[in-house]
Amino acid sequence: MDVFQIQNPKDIDAAVSGGATANTAQQGANVRFLAGGTTLVDLMKLNVERPQKLIDINRLPLDKIEALPDGGLRIGATVRNSDLANDARVQRDYPVLSQALLSGASAQLRNMATTGGNLLQRTRCVYFRDQDMPCNKREPGSGCAAIGGFNRNLAILGTSDQCIATNPSDMNVALMALDATIHILGPEGRRAVPIADFFLLPGDTPDKENVLQPGDLITHVTLPALPTGAKSLYLKLRDRASYEFALASAAIVLVREGNAISEVRFAMGGVGTRPWRVKDAEDHLRGARMDKAAFQTAAELFLKDAKPQSGNGFKIELAKRCLVHSLQSASQLA
């Protein structure tokens, strides 16, 4: 049995101070912040995560959903997924986020899982979760068993010869389309990171999944106000209707002007090593007529750099159809 400590800091500064003692020689893995624990505790049971210290942040004042003066929204790091999905302001102004959250996990897990934890959710690649198999994300330099192995559920965008694991979160896909900003407090002070810069591509260092440094604590997420008349939705395609991760998903934010699109943002999940967004595909649709041909061209642009593996080539066509259908549905809402 692994021995570890649990600390209950009295305030946010004390939590950050405790987290800053992480041993970078062990890749900063010996200290972890604990909120819902729906991913962390699971991985500890599998010996994938082996922290020496857990810092419980559940008692800290990070659980509020607050309107911002500019019309946006501030979401605390320990806001539970169920509370966020069912918040009246989220359902009214950011339905794509509510729909994404409600499409993920079970009701019981959503009652525990948090905003910050969801941002840091680890991949569901079977080799990452199996100590007996090589995995560069879990043990750098050991190899990637998924390449040439079972990879049906893994990424076709943003991969490298070191890792092809997908980001599993539905919430992160919606936040990407919403241009969210991640707010972080660490030993070096506060900083705000656009979500497009928060997640890292695997490259040669797949063990580094985001820009957080030892001791960094996500305190909250902010969403900008959407343009007037914006409609949003989330579409998730999966092997079964409940409690399953996406094979392909799409988060859409769209503004219609007559029969044309004046503004559009979209991201996809289930296909990338991080929540995936392609600005060229969005640019193609701005000012374009809302018809299937335009949506299909945008889908082609979105998937043009896809690199399928032995078992997931079907995802290219599936992702295209997912994106086209979700754009059609969003245009009908508008």
pLDDT attached to residue 23: 41
Q: Is residue 98 part of a domain?
A: no
pLDDT bin (cut points 50, 70, 90) of residue 29 is low
Cα separation, 184 vs 218, in Å, equals 4
Quote the pLDDT of residue 30.
86
pLDDT at 25 over 70: no
Across the range 263-275, mean pLDDT stands at 98
The candidate with the shortest Cα–Cα distance to 151, out of 170, 127, 119, is 127
Q: Is 272 exposed, middle or buried (0-12, 13-18, 19+ CB in 10 A)?
A: buried
pLDDT tens for 208-231 read 999 999 999 999 999 999 999 999
Of 115, 117, 121, 95, the closest CA to residue 222 belongs to 115
What pLDDT is attached to residue 21?
67
Distance CA(169)–CA(209), nearest Å, equals 13
pLDDT at res. 241:
87
State the average pLDDT over residues 137-162.
97
pLDDT band at 247 (very low <50, low <70, confident <90, very high): very high
What distance in Å separates the CA atoms of residue 216 and residue 100, rounded to the nearest whole number?
Answer: 26
Confidence of residue 20 (pLDDT cuts 50, 70, 90): confident
Q: Which two tokens stand for residue 158?
A: 């943003």
Question: Among residues of the chain, what percentage have pLDDT more than 70?
Answer: 97
Tell whether the model's pLDDT for residue 199 goes beyond 50.
yes
Supply the CATH number for residue 312's domain: 3.30.390.50
CA dihedral for 302, 307, 311, 313, sign (positive or negative):
positive
In this structure, is residue 280 part of a structural domain? Answer: yes
Q: Is residue 83 part of a domain?
A: no
**What pLDDT was estimated at residue 28?**
47
- 60 assigned to some structural domain: no
In total, how many domains does the chain have?
1
Please check whether residue 23 lies inside any domain of the structure.
no
Does 162 have pLDDT greater than 60? yes
Find the domain containing 242 and state its range.
Answer: 231-333
Residue 66 in any domain: the answer is no
**Burial classification of residue 238, based on how many CB atoms lie within 10 Å of its CB (0-12 exposed, 13-18 middle, 19 or more buried):** middle
Q: Give residue 26's pLDDT band: very low, low, confident or very high (50, 70, 90).
A: very low
How is residue 38 written in tokens?
Answer: 């729906």
Q: Inform me whether the pLDDT recorded for 259 exceeds 60.
A: yes
Answer whether residue 319 is part of any domain: yes
Residue 324 domain-assigned?
Answer: yes
Top pLDDT among 334 and 225 is at 225
pLDDT tens readout for residues 92-110: 999 999 999 999 989 999 9
Whether 210 contacts 221, CB under 8 Å = no
281 phi and psi angles, rounded to 5 deg: -70, -40
